[in-house]
């Protein structure tokens, strides 16, 4: 292949993150590579006793405008962009005294970190790198001759390449570096444009970009024939992406998806208001409960649907303790995620080698704005994360009968859960625990019936005289378009209903509730989850 091997004689290093800089530069200098640098990077190299030439020495221009202008110069870009086998390019280099730059090592101003830290507008602007991306793009374009390194983790890879090839790099190696470089500048621009759109109030920009950092390749996606990888986006929200895994095999695609669903749900329950537990299967809850202790919350959640709980995901809103851990290990569970876990609980789990335990250090803020993406043929659907919530004062009682205190407490719990159940969603709750969940049906009536049937089946398993839906409340994620779903809930023993309202037939549904002696409240907000 033409121009496969290229010698490395001259390098330009200009980095914000100086991790590993001195080690890299020392080894480059030791093999005879001339070092060029800028500002703080040059100082760091000089302080380490390394020979280094300031870029200003080759441009004959000082760094100016608070460092905004230092590398934007033909002496730099000519050295990066010149085709070493093009006679016209070589003649221009000779005429203007432009020297080759064979290696560019640049990592960019910490813009993403500035945004994550909540910096003000001007601080974020000053952390937008200009010269760095320009040099990176130039070097990457000329990868036939030039190597470009943008990530600290590639320093050792570069040194290994040089050692194996006697101070040279291969074309395949340079191509890989170039791809990574363009991905980095693309991600950087995506971060800047996304932040700026929010900063100036543009909610539907003409162009939209997303970016992520590769974390790991999955064995496969939802199914074995689907390739999959996991990327992080730098969001500091506590969750599956930031959690520490203490034991068990690597998480699969489905594990991550379901664990995220579980943790987002349990985050609806403020730990200050007591322990809560959610058990998830295929991204839908099969049991959720609040109780005086975490062990009791787990048992109540488990009793909602013991069959579906097998092989599920468990999320807790408080620290996992040994008593709860001892309950959990009685059946097969894929993943447990909690803000923290005691050493005693970890010891209980240690005997279950395939059980993954994740601690996230806290709960995600369910009210924090964000966006979710869905690919469709020919494009993307982008929407705000469903961070909608209600306060008891937001509710409007529309029936003659008012819900009592226990009903109101259960209605609010049911509504929190409905937000995280696939539509059409129906949730029965009694005494702080789900007793029947119907999810993902094409008809709301069918969801209501399925939830009631599951409750009946669990009553038989638990040896109860009647299903726990007797005396329960019910939540519907969207309005009842007809009274049939509501009446089905009443037939199952529900005494109170929470729903958005807003149907053309609201009056008919309200009358049906009154006739059945139900209390019903409207939220004025819907939680479709398709």
Q: Write out the catalytic residue numbers.
A: 141, 282
Which among 431, 435, 433 is positioned nearest to 468, based on CA atoms?
A: 435
| Order of all β-strands in the sheet with 103-107 | 53-54, 34-37, 10-15, 103-107, 147-149
Tokens of 523: 């939220």
313 close to 262: Cβ distance less than 8 angstroms: yes
Q: What angle do CA 360, 365, 367 make, to 5 degrees?
A: 165
Which among 415, 432, 473 is positioned nearest to 290, based on CA atoms?
A: 432
Tokens of 77: 């870009």
In what helix (H) or strand (E) does residue 396 lie, and over which residues does it extend?
strand 396-397
Q: What secondary structure, in 3-state letters, does 306-317 show?
A: HHHHCCEEEEEC
Distance, CA of 113 to CA of 124 (rounded, Å) = 9
118 Ramachandran zone, left/alpha/beta (phi>0; psi -120 to 50): left
- CA dist list (Å): 237 to 255, 328, 386, 448, 500: 19, 26, 15, 34, 29
Q: How many residues does the chain have?
A: 530
Q: Collapsing DSSP states into helix, strand and coil, what is residue 165?
A: coil
Burial class (CB in 10 A: 0-12, 13-18, 19+), 456: middle
Examine residue 363 and say whether the peptide bond preceding it is cis (omega within 30 degrees of 0): no
523 close to 498: Cβ distance less than 8 angstroms: yes
Q: What are phi and psi of 363, to 5 degrees?
A: -115, 150
494 Ramachandran zone, left/alpha/beta (phi>0; psi -120 to 50): beta
Which runs of consecutive H residues, i.e. helices, occur in 267-404? 294-304, 306-309, 322-328, 343-349
Taking the CA atoms of 183, 184, 190 and 193 in sequence, report the sign of the dihedral they define: negative
């Amino acid at each position: 292949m033409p121009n496969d091997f290229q010698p490395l004689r001259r390098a330009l290093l200009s980095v914000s993150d100086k991790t590993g800089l001195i080690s890299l530069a020392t080894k480059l200098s030791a093999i005879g590579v001339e070092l060029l640098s800028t500002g703080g990077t040059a100082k760091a190299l000089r302080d380490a006793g390394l020979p280094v030439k300031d870029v200003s020495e080759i441009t004959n221009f000082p760094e100016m405008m608070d460092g905004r202008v230092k590398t934007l110069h033909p002496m730099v870009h000519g050295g990066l962009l010149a085709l070493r086998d093009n006679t016209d390019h070589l003649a221009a280099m000779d005429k203007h005294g432009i020297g080759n730059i064979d290696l560019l090592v640049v990592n960019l101003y910490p813009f993403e970190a500035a945004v994550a830290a909540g910096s003000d507008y001007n601080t974020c602007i000053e952390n937008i790198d200009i010269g760095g991306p320009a040099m990176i793009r130039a070097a990457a374009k000329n990868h036939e001759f030039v190597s470009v390194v943008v990530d600290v983790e590639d320093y050792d890879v570069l040194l290994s390449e040089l050692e194996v090839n006697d101070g040279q790099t291969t074309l395949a190696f340079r191509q890989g570096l170039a791809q990574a470089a363009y991905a980095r500048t693309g991600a950087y621009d995506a971060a800047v444009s996304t932040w700026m759109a929010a900063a100036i109030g543009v909610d539907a920009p003409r162009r939209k970009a997303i970016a992520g950092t590769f974390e790991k390749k999955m064995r496969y996606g939802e199914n074995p024939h689907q390739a999959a990888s996991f990327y992080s986006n730098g969001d500091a929200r506590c969750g599956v992406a930031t959690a520490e895994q203490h034991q068990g095999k690597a998480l699969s695609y489905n594990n991550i998806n379901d664990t995220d669903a579980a943790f987002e749900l349990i985050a609806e329950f403020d730990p200050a208001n007591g322990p809560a537990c959610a058990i998830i299967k295929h991204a839908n809850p099969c049991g959720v409960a609040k109780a005086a202790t975490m062990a009791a919350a787990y048992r109540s959640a488990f009793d909602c649907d013991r069959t579906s709980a097998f092989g599920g995901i468990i999320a807790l809103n408080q620290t996992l303790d040994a008593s709860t851990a001892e309950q959990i290990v009685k059946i097969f569970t894929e993943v447990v995620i909690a803000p923290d876990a005691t050493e005693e609980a970890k010891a209980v789990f240690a005997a279950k080698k395939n059980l993954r335990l994740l601690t996230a250090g806290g709960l995600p803020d369910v009210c924090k704005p964000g966006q979710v993406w869905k690919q469709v043929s020919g494009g993307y659907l982008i929407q705000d994360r469903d961070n909608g919530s209600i306060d008891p004062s937001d509710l409007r009682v529309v029936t003659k009968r008012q819900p009592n205190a226990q009903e109101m407490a259960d209605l609010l719990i049911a509504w929190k859960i409905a937000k995280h159940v696939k539509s059409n969603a129906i949730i029965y709750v009694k005494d702080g625990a789900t007793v029947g969940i119907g999810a993902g049906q094409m008809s709301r009536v069918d969801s209501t019936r399925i939830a009631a049937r599951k409750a009946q089946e669990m009553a038989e398993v638990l040896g109860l005289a009647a299903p726990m839906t007797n005396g329960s409340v019910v939540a519907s994620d969207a309005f009842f378009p007809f009274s049939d779903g509501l009446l089905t809930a009443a037939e199952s023993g529900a005494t109170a209903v929470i729903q958005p309202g807003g149907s053309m037939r609201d009056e008919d549904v309200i009358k049906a509730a009154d006739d059945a002696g139900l209390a019903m409240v409207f939220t004025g907000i819907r939680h479709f989850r398709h």
